[in-house]
Amino acid sequence: MEAGVVVKVSGPLVVARDLPDPKMYDLVKVGKDRLMGEIIELRGNLASIQVYEETAGLGPGDEVISTGEPLSVELGPGLLTSIYDGVQRPLDVIRAKYGNYVTRGVEEPGLSRERRWAFTPAVKVGEEVGPGDVLGTVPETKVVTHRIMVPVGVEGKVSEVKEGEFTVEDVVAVVETPRGEVPVTMMQRWPVRRPRLYAEKLAPYEPLVTGQRIVDTFFPISKGGTACVPGPFGSGKTVLQHAIAKWANAQIVVFVGCGERGNEMTDVLLEFPELTDPYSGEPLMLRTVLIANTSNMPVAAREASVYTGITIAEYYRDMGYHVALQADSTSRWAEALREISGRLEEMPGEEGYPAYLGTRLAAFYERAGRVVCLGGDRREGSVSAIGSVSPPGGDLSEPVTQATLRVVKVFWGLEDRLAFARHFPAINWLNSYSLYLDKVQDFWRQEVEPAYAELREEAMGILQREAELQEVVRLIGIEALSDQERLIMETAKSLREDFLQQNAFDDADAFTSLRKQYRLLRLIMTYHHLASRELEKGRPIEELIDLPVQEEIARAKFIPEEELERFDRLEEKVAEQLAGQAMEVRA
C-alpha cells in the first residue's frame, strides 16, 4: 500500500508528507504501532494529523497510511451498557485483552462482531421504504428496543427481510433501489463530525424532568434543550451531572467523561448497574452509554469524544427516543482544541483559544434539539445536551464560559460560597436562568397543576427579596426589618433549606417527582400565606415562627413518593398551628 512519511512529531501533532489522496478529517494510521489519527490540516503535500494515542517513539521516516474515511462510529445494537474511549474503542474489551493500562495501537471495533441479536422484522417483502424507516427491532436491553433503520441514501422496495438471530454484520434485509440491490445490516457507520439527519426541528415543549428540585421547578430544561453547568472545582458539577444521568426521564443517557477523573467513571460503572431507574424499574445501566476519555488519556481523543457521544445520542434520537447527552467537562474539550491549535501554530484568540472556539461550541450544541425523525411514521425524538464548564479560578468571564452562554438556553451557575456552607446543589438561584421556563410552565399548567407556575414565581420573588433584606441586615441589623419582612426571611430560609437543598447521596432525597416538588413548594408557601395573613391580623412575628410543624416541613422532602397524601395533613397542621397559637394567645 502507498504510504506517506512522518516529517515532524510534536506531542499529539504529527506532520506527514506525500500521503496519497489526503482529505480533511480522514482517519490515518501512524507508525508501526498503527496509531489512530485524524487529518486536521492540509498544506501542499503536507498533512497535519492529530494522533489519538501517545506519540512517544514516533519519528521522521515512520509510515503513515490513510484509511480514506473520516473518523466514524459504529451504530447498532450493543451500544447500550458499553463503555468506550473517545474514539469508540470498548474499554471493557480492551481490559480483557490487554490488561489494566490503555496501551497503544489497540484496534477493537465498537460493536461486537460475535454477539448475536434477535431481529424481528417490521416490514414485509415488497414494501417501499426510505431513510429512517424501521426495518425491524431488536430487544437491545430489557428496557430499550433498538430500531433498525434504513440508512440514509437507501430508498426502494424491500426484496428480502429475515428473522432470527444475527450478528451486526449479517444482512437482515435487502432493499431494491434504482441503483441496484442494497444489503442492510444492523450496523451503520456515521462520521462523528457530521450531524445525523432528521426531517424537521421542533420547538421545545415538554420538560426533561431531572428529579432535582432547583432544576425542575426553578430552572427547567426541556427535552431537546441545551444547558450548561459552570462552576469552580468542588462546587458540584459532576454530582449534578451524575444526578441528572441517574434520574432524568430520558429514555437513553449518553454520558461523556471528557478529560476528567478516572474514578468518576468507575463510580458510574459501579453504581448504574445497581441503581433502579424510577421510570422503568430496571437498572439504570440498561439505558446508558458511557464515553470515558479521562484527563490522563490522550488529548486528541478527548477532542473527538464529545462528537462520538453526540453521534450516538443522535442515533437513538433517530429511533424516536428522548436522549440526554451529558459532557463533563466541555472545558477540557476546549483545552484539547487549544492545545492542537497551538501546535498548528494558528493565530491564538483570547487566552490562547483558537478563534473558532465559539463556532465549534455552537455547532456542537446545535446538534441538540427535538425533531421529527426521518421515516414515514414521523416519530419524534430529542437530544438534550448538558455540558459542564470548568472556568479557571471560577471566573465566568473566561472564553469557554462566555462562548457557551451565547448558545445554551439554561444556565445553572454553581458557586463555591454555597458549596463551602454545604448548600447543595450549589446552584445560585439569583443568577441562574432557563429560557425554556415559559414553555415548561405551559406544560405544567396543562399536565401537572395549573397553580404551579404562579407558585414558582412567588417563591422566586421571596428568594430575591431575601437577598435585598440580607443586605439591610448586614448594614443595620435584624431590628431594621418589619414583621412582614421577617416572615419573608423565614420563608426564604425554608425555601432554601427545605426545598432547594437536595442531598444527592441520600436515597430518599436524591430524586423528587414533579408532583412531589409541587406539593413541597405548596406546603412551604402555604405556611407563608397563612402566616402573612396572621400578621395582617396584627399578630407579632414571634408567634408565627419556631412552630413544631416547621420541623415537619423540614423533613417533608423525605416523604416517599407513594405517600404524597401526607402533604394534605401537613398543610392542615400548618393552618392549625398558626391559628391554634392565635387561640391560645386570645384565650
Partner 1 sequence: MLKEYLTVKEIVGPLILLEGVEGAKYNELVEVEFPDGSVGLGNVLEVEEDLVLLQSFEATSGLDIARTKVRFTGRGLELPVSRDILGRVFDGLGRPIDNGPRIIPDKRLDINGNPINPYARDFPTDFIQTGISAIDGLNPLVRGQKLPIFSGAGLPHSRLAAQIARQAGVLGAEEEFAVIFAAMGITFEEADFFIQEFRSTAAIERAVLFINLADDPAIERIATPRMALTAAEYLAFDLDMHVLVILIDMTYYCEALREISAARKEVPGRRGYPGYLYTDLATIYERAGRIKEAKGSITQIPVLSMPDDDKTHPIPDLTGYITEGQIILSRDLHRRGIYPPIDVLPSLSRLKEKGIGPGKTREDHSPLSNQLFSAYARGKEAKELAVILGEAALSEEDRLFVQFSEAFEDRFIRQGEYEDRSIEETLTIGWELLRILPRSELKRVKEEHIKKYMKT
Interface residue list for ligand ADP (CB under 6 A) = 231, 233-239, 419, 424-425, 502-505
SS3 134: strand
Which of Mg ion, ligand ADP, partner 1, none does residue 43 bind to, with CB < 5 to 8 Å depending on kind?
none
Q: Are residues 131 and 374 in contact, defined by beta-carbon separation less than 8 angstroms? A: yes
- Sign of the C-alpha dihedral, residues 395, 346, 12, 192? positive
Do you know the residue count of the chain?
Answer: 587
Query: In the bound complex, what is the minimum distance in angstroms from residue 227's beta carbon to partner 1?
Result: 20
**Per-residue x/- track, 485-504, partner 1 (CB under 8 A):** ------------x-------
Shortest Å distance, C-beta 348 to partner 1: 5
How would you label 158-197 residue by residue, b for 16+ Cβ within 10 Å and e otherwise?
beebeeeebbbebebbbbbbeeeebebbbbbebbbbebbe
Q: Does 546 bind partner 1 (CB under 8 A)?
A: yes
Residue 405, number of CB atoms within 10 A of its CB: 16
Name which of 238 and 404 has its Cβ closer to Mg ion.
238
Chain positions 57 to 116 lying near partner 1, rule: CB under 8 A, are: 57-61, 83, 91-92, 94-95, 99-103
Residues 6+ apart with CB under 8 A from 516: 559, 561, 564
Which long-range CB contacts under 8 A does 543-550 form with residues at least 24 apart?
A: 543/581, 543/582, 543/585, 544/487, 544/490, 544/578, 544/581, 545/490, 547/574, 547/577, 547/578, 547/581, 548/577, 549/573, 549/574, 549/577, 550/494
Binding mask 314-353 for partner 1 (x = CB under 8 A): ------------------x--xx-xx--x-----x--xx-
For residue 329, the minimal CB distance to ligand ADP (Å) is: 8
Closest residue to bound Mg ion by CB: 238
Q: x/- contact string, 419-458, with partner 1 (CB under 8 A)?
A: xxxx------------------------------------
Closer to ligand ADP by Cβ: residue 364 or 424: 424
CB of 235 to ligand ADP, least distance (A): 4
Contact mark string toward Mg ion, 408..427, x via CB under 5 A: --------------------
- Confirm or reject binding of residue 55 to partner 1 (CB under 8 A): yes
Q: Contact letters (x/-) for partner 1, 277-306, by CB under 8 A?
A: ---------------x-xxxx-x-------
For ligand ADP, the closer CB: 41 or 271: 271
Q: At what angle do helices 299-318 and 357-366 cross, to 10 degrees?
A: 30
Residues 6+ apart with CB under 8 A from 348: 341, 342, 354
Q: What is the dihedral of CA 40, 44, 46, 51, to 10 degrees?
A: 0
Q: Among partner 1, ligand ADP, Mg ion, none, what binds residue 42 when CB lies within 5 to 8 Å by partner kind? A: none
Q: Which does 524 bind (CB under 5 to 8 A by kind): partner 1, Mg ion, ligand ADP, none?
A: none
- Asked if residue 54 binds partner 1 (CB under 8 A), the reply is yes
* Residue 20 vs 234, nearer CB to ligand ADP: 234
Cell numbers at 566, concatenated: 401526607
Residue 57 binding: pick among ligand ADP, Mg ion, partner 1, none (C-beta 5-8 Å cut-off by kind): partner 1
Contact by Cβ (8 Å): 101, 158? no
| Closest CA relative to residue 62, chosen from 4, 115, 11, 108 | 4
User: Rounded to the nearest 5°, which phi and psi values hold at 423?
Assistant: -95, 105
Cα distance between residue 128 and residue 177, in whole Å:
10
Give the Cα separation of 315 and 284 in Å (integer). Answer: 19
What x/- string results for residues 200 through 239 when contact with Mg ion is judged by CB under 5 A? -------------------------------------xx-
Q: Within 378-417, which residues bind partner 1 (CB under 8 A)?
A: 390, 392-395, 416
Q: Are strands 226-230 and 410-411 parallel, antiparallel or unpaired?
A: parallel
Q: Are 212 and 370 in contact (CB under 8 A)?
A: no
Query: Minimum CB separation from ligand ADP for residue 234, in Å?
Result: 5
Contact partner, 231, from ligand ADP, partner 1, Mg ion, none, Cβ < 5-8 Å per class: ligand ADP
Query: Which partner in partner 1, Mg ion, ligand ADP, none is near 425 (CB below 5 to 8 A by kind)?
Result: ligand ADP
Picked from ligand ADP, partner 1, Mg ion, none, the partner binding residue 462 (CB below 5 to 8 A depending on kind) is none
Q: Rounded distance, CA 33 to CA 27, Å?
A: 15
Q: How far is the CB of 272 from Mg ion (least distance, A)?
A: 17
Q: Which residues bind Mg ion (CB under 5 A)?
A: 237-238
